[in-house]
Amino acid sequence: DAGVIQSPRHEVTEMGQEVTLRCKPISGHNSLFWYRQTMMRGLELLIYFNNNVPIDDSGMPEDRFSAKMPNASFSTLKIQPSEPRDSAVYFCASSPRTSGVTKQYFGPGTRLTVT
Amino acid sequence: QKEVEQDPGPLSVPEGAIVSLNCTYSNSAFQYFMWYRQYSRKGPELLMYTYSSGNKEDGRFTAQVDKSSKYISLFIRDSQPSDSATYLCAMSEPDSNYQLIWGAGTKLIIKP
């Protein structure tokens, strides 16, 4: 089992540039999550997809952030334009269809630095 | 006040000690309680979960929920240096079980 795959692992960009983060969930999982983790704010849910459909995007900080899931095996999180305060580790997680507790499987994360 | 409170630590203990990690919460509707472990530069991984109250044991790890006190604990027996990581608690309501409310995480250091 390959686990959740994220790319790139590290991204350094200048303020104002567009950043695209990519995620391949575990095969067969029907839910996908994008999180952001910082020392100050901890782990924050940005957006949740179920069966490729965005269900809850209330955590997306502002219009500069957008996420898509064109199919069950791929999702992107885009920041345009990027700002220094977007510097964080961005995690993608996926979850299988289950009743009860949602077991989320996290990828290794993308460490984003905006200068 | 945050919905879930967790002391960020760091908590440093000698190898072999019993470790107690804790979270308090304010939302009485929480029914699912989870502990995730996060090694440095890695994503969180689910360690244990419990539903409602009670204890759950898995090897050296025991998760405990006290709903009357709104308090959850993770105990690690015979702690090992490989247990050094950040431990995050997470909780959810039954009707929105995808929406996990996370603690800040406690950094645990096991000294050889």
Query: For residue B45, which residues of chain A lie inside 8 Å, CB to CB?
Result: 105-106
The residue-averaged pLDDT of A91-107 equals: 85
Cβ proximity of A46 and A59 under 8 Å: yes
A82 vs A104: CA distance, rounded Å: 28
**Bigger pLDDT: A101 vs A88:** A88
A41: CB partners within 8 A, 6+ apart: none
Taking the C-alpha atoms of residue B50 and residue B71, their distance in angstroms, rounded to an integer, is 13
With CA atoms as reference, the chain A residue closest to B6 would be: A42
Give rounded-to-5 percent helix, strand, coil for chain B. 5, 55, 40
Q: Please report the pLDDT score of residue B97 as a whole number.
A: 67
As a whole-number percent, the residues of chain A with pLDDT over 70 amount to 96
Residue A63 has pLDDT above 70, yes or no: yes
The count of other CB atoms within 10 Å of the CB of residue B43 is: 22
What average pLDDT does the structure give for chain A? 94
Which of B23, B41, B50, B100 to probe the A interface (max A CBs under 10 A)?
Answer: B100
pLDDT in tens, chain B (112 residues): 679 999 988 999 999 999 999 999 999 999 999 999 999 999 999 999 998 888 999 999 999 999 999 999 999 999 999 999 999 999 998 877 688 999 999 999 999 9
